[in-house]
Structure 1
Amino acid sequence: MGSGGVALACGLLCVLGGRALSFCALTDYTLYVEKAGCDFCVAINTTICMGFCYSRDTNIVGLAGKRLLLQRTCTYRSVEYHTTALPGCHQHADPFFSYPVALDCYCSTCDTGSHDCTHKGGDDNSAQCAKPLLHIYPYPGQSNHI
């Protein structure tokens, strides 16, 4: 194998290794929404960015430590917002609810000014509803039945 082939093989391994170390991707997610004045808890299917991004930390104190610190998070490259009317809302209640739909994800440093950079641990109580549950599907052709 010539030097060009070796360089190509090394480059390909670096690209594949970078992908293997970062598992940041679009993931299906269900939001459970209840609003005052509406009779139902609504399950809305959407997409979010989720996964592992390569990070490194150092125990070196001082300027060298800050240069070697790399904290990245799986975040949105592009997102659009959809709005849906929640069923069973009383006349005085606003039936509209807007939610994000991730279109593309990537690993980047977390901008705490515009993103929530934390992970909520413990029990996921957001999936529990106090009202009867209905599903809303944002994609054409999907059923709106449970």
Structure 2
Amino acid sequence: MRPHVRKQISKSNNSGFTLIEVLVAVVILMVGLLGVMQALNLAIQTNLQNEMRTQGSMIGEAQMAKIKSLPFDNITGATERSLSVPVNMRSAIIDYTVTKKIDNVSSTTRRINVGVSWTHRGNHQDYVVSSVVTDPRAH
């Protein structure tokens, strides 16, 4: 008679992750997050450029409105005048340079050019507003 041999079946536990699987998952996750961070950085820079452009156009339009609100006889000069307008934007000071030029087209007409320029990260940007003003007494 043979002795009774009991067979033991080992149950392997396959319900967890191996270290290699975890490392591969972490690498895939990091590559995906790196792409998201690059896209986020690009979006922030584009948003800042648009904000600076909007601020530049507002400065130019405000200067034009200021000149056009003057009496016609006070809108004079064939000389260029410039001024600096510092603006606090996202904890940084952006210096906008405003250039105003008024040309006498005729004795009753003036051409006004207002230019706004600024530099950010080595990129020079310009915004120009032009208008023609006539003497209301001439009509």
TM-score range, shorter chain: 0.3 to 0.5
Counting helix residues as a fraction of each chain, which structure ranks higher? 2
Alignment TM-score, normalising by the size of structure 1: 0.33
